[in-house]
Amino acid sequence: MSRPQPDISFTFNGAAIQAITGQTIAAALLDNDVREFRKTRFEGEPRSIFCGIGVCWDCVVTVNGVANQRSCLIEAVNGMAVTS
């Protein structure tokens, strides 16, 4: 069985990200070799996914202007704008 090919796209900090319908934002970012979703507020440490199930909040991003969205829970939508 072959792997599905990307059929939608969105932007992350202005860069084009290819995604497969049904993928979460986090999965699509990892698939596109994005390993840093944000930096911590005080220490500036890089963060990505940790739990992958909506518990830790390490993966938060801004989606279409709405802050603090857990990228591991939100399905990628064609044309959405995601930022750190």
Binding stretches for ligand FES (CB under 6 A):
49-52, 54-59, 70, 72
Choice between 51 and 81, CB closer to ligand FES: 51
**Hey, what long-range contacts does 70-74 have (CB within 8 A, 24 or more apart)?**
71/24, 71/25, 71/26, 71/29, 71/37, 72/24, 72/25, 72/26, 72/27, 73/24, 74/24, 74/25
Choice between 8 and 29, CB closer to ligand FES: 29
Q: How far is the CB of 14 from ligand FES (least distance, A)?
A: 22
Residue with the CB atom nearest ligand FES in the bound state: 72
